[in-house]
Structure 1
Amino acid sequence: MSRPALKDRFDAEAYLAWEAEQTEKHEYANGEVFAMSGALENHVTVALNVAIALRSHLRGGPCSVFISDMKLHVQADDAFYYPDVFVTCAESDRAESRHKSTPSLVVEVLSSSTAAYDRGAKFASYRKLPSLREYVLIDPERLSVDLFRRGDDGHWVLHPFVAGERVEFSSVGLALPIEDLYEDVRFDPEAASTHP
């Protein structure tokens, strides 16, 4: 999410109608719209790798994988987001073609301009989705995946993964080497050395 769009506040239905006519994507939160900026190559490559792995694993089953052009509705926050990748297995989501609202897994690939938001306010909003089992944050500049999993007690627990480990998406029954998520990613040695 970047800057508020130059548009008066409006309700969710007005946003959906307005957004359908736009050439750029905008997220929506509580009456305001926010223009989305383009992504860098590593970001796009990681997101594509995740989507391909999930789609291949879930093919032929009841779950669907969506990429960043499909909106995710968080009704409790009157918000619509464009996650990089998400999975829904809910029959109710099949009836709505403009957006989905019952994900089991959401993946966001971090960028310098959105990392704090993805870890903070956006995660707080996603946690209000009763169906959500896992929220995944992937750093496109180094082998680092933070997977937050909701336990049976409702508490979220961080499961970090680094080079040489297998990332476990338990919500969809998929485990794969972290390196698979970074296939064809070209790391910038200078960016990696200045990363926290």
Structure 2
Amino acid sequence: MIASPQYTNPEDYLRLEAESPTKHEYSDGAIYAMAGASDQHVTIALNLATLLRSHIRGTGCRVYIADMKARIEARNRFYYPDVMVTCDPRDPETALYKRFPKLIVEVLSDSTEAFDRGDKFADYQTLESLEEYVLINTRHPRVDCFRRSQSGLWVLQSYTPQSDRVFLESIDFTCSLTMLYEDVVWDEGELGFTQDNIQSP
């Protein structure tokens, strides 16, 4: 994100954002312009959103990608998750943002990884509806899935080519890493999928 000197309230932010050609995230009055995403980032997010849309069709849940905001009222924040799923009947009441997601996915980049793993995750944890927070690596095949336990603790499970299958408990969804990373063009020197580092389906 790129810092902007603008300060405003949530209502003004939503009005300005609806008219802006550039997306901004909102943090307690401060507005931050969002940088563009890489080919890997966009491909992974679209792959997952497509798979999730097929999985939840007819369940009453909705999947959103990139352009829908998540509102974190406890911290006075608005973020744009890369992928978000909500099943709460109250969310259709707000057209510009969703307040009750059960699954949030961020596709990592070099410039945002520390924030996604740190302060942003801390903000997302204040959402009582959130059951899973997922981070997808763009440098090599790896998915880190944080699940909220019954005791309220967040438990990490990681998926790599050795395990192959990714399981999202919040929506009872399973897919292979090969499907998640389909058509991703890895940067030179980065480890993608080879016959040696992935199991057969």
- The TM-score range, normalised by the shorter chain, is over 0.9
Q: Where in structure 2 are the equivalents of 1:22-101 lying within 5 Å?
A: 22-101=20-99
Question: Which residue number corresponds to residue 5 of structure 1?
Answer: 4
Unaligned runs of 5+ in 1: none
Question: Which residue number corresponds to residue 143 of structure 1?
Answer: 141
Task: Specify the SS of the correspondent of 2:78.
Answer: strand
TM-score of the two chains, using structure 1 as the length reference: 0.95
Alpha-carbon distance between aligned partners in 2 of 1:61 and 1:175, rounded to the nearest angstrom: 16
Question: Which residue number corresponds to residue 168 of structure 1?
Answer: 167
Q: Which amino acid letter does the alignment assign opposite residue 129 of structure 2? A: S
Question: Which residue number corresponds to residue 126 of structure 1?
Answer: 124
| Aligned-pair CA distance for 1:6 | 3.5
Alpha-carbon distance between aligned partners in 2 of 1:72 and 1:188, rounded to the nearest angstrom: 31
Q: Over aligned residues, Cα RMSD in angstroms?
A: 1.1
Report how many aligned residue pairs link the two structures.
Answer: 191
Alpha-carbon distance between aligned partners in 2 of 1:177 and 1:190, rounded to the nearest angstrom: 23
Residue identity (%): 47
| Aligned-pair CA distance for 1:78 | 0.3
Task: Specify the SS of the correspondent of 1:118.
Answer: helix
2:100 paired residue among 92, 102, 121: 102
Alpha-carbon distance between aligned partners in 2 of 1:69 and 1:5, rounded to the nearest angstrom: 20
Unaligned runs of 5+ in 2: 193-201
| Aligned-pair CA distance for 1:63 | 0.3
Question: Which residue number corresponds to residue 179 of structure 1?
Answer: 178
Report whether the alignment pairs 1:19 with 2:17. Answer: yes
Alpha-carbon distance between aligned partners in 2 of 1:45 and 1:176, rounded to the nearest angstrom: 16
Q: Which amino acid letter does the alignment assign opposite residue 5 of structure 1? A: S
Q: Deviations over 1:140-179 (max 9, x none)?
A: 1211000000001100000000014211101001011122
Alpha-carbon distance between aligned partners in 2 of 1:91 and 1:83, rounded to the nearest angstrom: 20
Q: Which runs of 4+ in 1 moved over 4 A?
A: none
Contact 2:5 2:30 in 1 (8 A): no
Alpha-carbon distance between aligned partners in 2 of 1:109 and 1:66, rounded to the nearest angstrom: 14
Q: Deviations over 1:62-81 (max 9, x none)?
A: 10000000010000000000
Alpha-carbon distance between aligned partners in 1 of 2:14 and 2:191, rounded to the nearest angstrom: 39
Question: Which residue number corresponds to residue 154 of structure 1?
Answer: 152
TM-score of the two chains, using structure 2 as the length reference: 0.92
